[in-house]
Amino acid sequence: MPDTAISIKGLTKTYAASGRSEAKVALHGLDLEVPRGSIFGLLGPNGAGKSTTINILAGLVTKTSGTVEIWGFDQDRNPRQSRAAIGVVPQELNLDPFFTPRAAMEVQAGLYGVPKSQRRTEEILSAVGLLDKADAYARSLSGGMRRRLLIAKALVHTPAVLVLDEPTAGVDIELRQMLWAYVRELNRQGTTIILTTHYLEEAQEMCDRIAIINHGRLVACDDTSNLLSRMNAKTLVITPESAPTGNLILPEGVTLDTRPNGALALTYSPGETPAEALLDAVRAANIHIRDIATEEPDLEDVFVSITQAQ
């Protein structure tokens, strides 16, 4: 088995000009490796090229140049094997309203050439909590149930890599937790997961590795913990007893932000300024501390700092 689940090299995509719109370069030579067994987040602002990348992986969009290997199979040289190695859960809830979940699963299995004896329709529907709806028309399913059916469909051929495009957009918290629990379980059983999400908190919690793309280029790719520590910034939040009267003179490199509730947020690099120096400065300004807390940077901070620097 390969170490990398997905290997993308020099991937470019130019959408041809049409009618009113000019030709658009969506990907400028993207290089990306997704380790086998990971839960990998593909993040970026709107228009960054995430869907284009995912649609190329899914075989829905043809690349302009570059190579894509899925589970070691080159998409051009081994189209059948590379397609069999991946399942994609699309963003849109595009289901045939007159199909029942059972029928939708059977059709999908047929498309992937899964022999009848190897089909796991009931097992998969049960895993996503839809077994009792197996014979209901898709049009009678709620949005959350449709989303689960899309995941079930992507699993019919037991793909090694499962790609989820914004799987929890517009999904309520309860269902979101259920989906993530199931995705984690699939990952524990060996499926490599790639997901895009607008919820950075969710990406931070779920993904062990994250790539950030912007304007069709890779701008960061690292383990989530490394990305977070890269910020090398902490915030000390001090709530004073009363409005400060003294002059607060801060060590170099420390920034001060006054919160709406009057708290003083001091952002510093722990490697350069010890927290003690901040407390000394606060005491020297005759500020009496009512409360004190520290805040670590989160993925949102990393994301903003990386994409805004572009």
Contact (CB, 8 A) for 151 and 89: yes
Nearest distance in Å: CB 308, ligand ADP: 16
Count the neighbouring beta carbons within 10 Å of the beta carbon of residue 67. Answer: 14
Which of 66, 251 has the CB closer to ligand ADP? 66
Count the neighbouring beta carbons within 10 Å of the beta carbon of residue 300. Answer: 13
By C-alpha distance, which of 147, 139, 185 is closest to 166? 147
Q: Is 230 in the site for ligand ADP (CB under 6 A)?
A: no
The two tokens of residue 75 are 């998409």
Which of 91, 267 has the CB closer to ligand ADP? 91
Count of residues touching ligand ADP (by CB under 6 A): 11
Nearest distance in Å: CB 55, ligand ADP: 7
Residues 28-57 that bind ligand ADP (CB under 6 A): 44, 46-52
Q: In the Cβ-directed half-sphere of 198, how many Cα atoms lie within 13 Å?
A: 10
Query: Rounded to the nearest 5°, which phi and psi values hold at 4?
Result: -105, 135
Which of 36, 217 has the CB closer to ligand ADP? 217
3 state SS of 109: helix
Q: Is 63 in the site for ligand ADP (CB under 6 A)?
A: no
- For residue 65, the cross-strand partners are 12
CA dist 170 and 69 (Å) reads: 32
Which of 15, 99 has the CB closer to ligand ADP? 15
Which of 46, 189 has the CB closer to ligand ADP? 46
Nearest distance in Å: CB 193, ligand ADP: 18
Which of 145, 212 has the CB closer to ligand ADP? 212
Among 5, 6, 8, 26, binds ligand ADP (CB under 6 A): 26
Location of structure tokens 């993207």: 30
Which of 207, 287 has the CB closer to ligand ADP? 207
3 state SS of 135: coil
Q: Judging by DSSP bridges, how do beta strands 217-223 and 209-214 pair with one another? A: antiparallel
Residues 98-127 that bind ligand ADP (CB under 6 A): none
Nearest distance in Å: CB 196, ligand ADP: 7
Residues 156-175 that bind ligand ADP (CB under 6 A): none
Nearest distance in Å: CB 117, ligand ADP: 39
Contact (CB, 8 A) for 25 and 63: no
Nearest distance in Å: CB 165, ligand ADP: 8
Which of 55, 100 has the CB closer to ligand ADP? 55
- For residue 41, the cross-strand partners are 195, 210
Contact (CB, 8 A) for 282 and 187: no
The two tokens of residue 283 are 């005491």
Q: Is 15 in the site for ligand ADP (CB under 6 A)?
A: yes
Interface residues with ligand ADP (CB under 6 A)? 15, 24, 26, 44, 46-52
